Amino acid sequence: MISAHFTGRQGDFTLDAAFEVPGQGVTALFGPSGCGKTTVLRCMAGLAWLPGGHLRVNGVTWQEGRQITPPHRRAVGYVFQEASLFTHLSVRENLIYGLKRARGPLRISEAEVTQLLGIDPLLRRPTAALSGGERQRVAIGRALLSQPELLLMDEPLSALDRISRDEILPYLERLHASLQMPVMLVSHDLSEVERLADTLVLMEAGRVRAAGPIAAMQADPSLPLIHRPDLAAVIEGVVVALDPAYGLSTLQVPGGQIVVPGNLGPIGTRRRLRVPATDVSLGRHAPTDTTILNALPAVILGAEAAEGYQITVRLALGATGEGASLLARVSRKSWDGLGFRPGEKVVARLKAMALSAPAQTGG
């Protein structure tokens, strides 16, 4: 586990943020600008210091009140918004600099890093010859080669244009699937969080409003996420069938199976789907004579009013509601006209979904 509590003032800003999250996987700090996300990350790195609170990372204490471990003695890799590479060094020399700073045992080799991040062809290049996405991949590689026990990433994509973001995201997904070390990610982009994070820490005005698995946080009616116009559900699944004749893959998810366009990898590959709430419709019976491929049994858990005469419906997949969380945004007229109620069994029709992240391979 990672247990953190930072409290104190920095100028006019007061921070009182506490959370406990798993000591593995990706945890995202999410919230509006100025809520304290980067301050928390800097406190975790030891680059900022507040006299109150504590920080324990997988059994190792880095802060207990005023007793702190200085930053150079923390096994932390830090990736900033800007790549901040050494311009007088080549790509490989930048990577080796990270390896020379390693304090602990070798957890990941140079060959593994260059393969994961796809930077083998770049090793001899000067950093000035790299694109924005390439520079950030090298910066991540340098941080990984310092052999950290904790990787901190402060909005690593915010300085990139959309093309560069799309270029680097698959590599970050690959790291998510392969790394054993915990990652703390600061982001203000919810789609980025949905794609990469397992756990979400929701911050407001210097405090933690809630923390937990991202799927549960998205569907929590007490949190503001459920009112966002871009509301979506994140569902993890395993590839169980491929249909090369029609270019389709079937994923087993908790509570049913979902057919997705494309070859999602060998049988047993774990994948993540993002299902927008606006692309889910509800009915009492499975549709016929329709182009919709996915109609799954589900149970209505509850419903909340949304903006623009709409209703946000919280669902659980499966005939008895034992499966993954799903969200639907429907018109109030349709909701009232069909007379749906919490506890009722329905059929959820998935019009579309976006493939998000490869979690990991295996049976």
Report which of 233, 305, 214 is spatially closest to residue 275, judged by C-alpha positions. 233
Q: What is the mean pLDDT of residues 343-359?
A: 75
Distance CA 360, CA 363 (A): 10
Report which of 309, 240, 228 is spatially closest to residue 269, judged by C-alpha positions. 240
* Paired tokens of 321: 């509601």
Q: Give tens-digit pLDDT for 94-118.
A: 999 988 888 777 888 999 999 999 9
Output 265 or 7, whichever has higher pLDDT: 7
Q: Give tens-digit pLDDT for 37-51.
A: 999 999 999 999 898
**In this structure, is the dihedral angle defined by the CA atoms of residues 222, 223, 226 and 229, taken in order, positive or negative?**
positive
Q: 176 burial class (0-12, 13-18, 19+ CB within 10 angstroms)?
A: buried
Beta bridge partners of 358: 271
Q: Give tens-digit pLDDT for 199-218.
A: 999 999 999 999 999 999 99
Confidence of residue 358 (pLDDT cuts 50, 70, 90): very low
Report which of 71, 51, 63 is spatially closest to residue 8, judged by C-alpha positions. 51
Rounded to 5 degrees, what angle do the CA atoms 363, 322, 285 make? 110
Residue 363 has pLDDT above 70, yes or no: no
Q: Which residues contact 166 (CB under 8 A, 6 or more apart)?
A: none
What is the average pLDDT value for the chain, to the nearest integer? 91
- Ordered by where they begin, the domains of the chain are 2-218 (3.40.50.300), 232-358 (2.40.50.100)
Q: What is the mean pLDDT of residues 276-288?
A: 90
Report which of 129, 48, 38 is spatially closest to residue 79, judged by C-alpha positions. 38
Give the pLDDT of residue 242.
Answer: 95
Confidence of residue 361 (pLDDT cuts 50, 70, 90): very low
SS3 296: strand
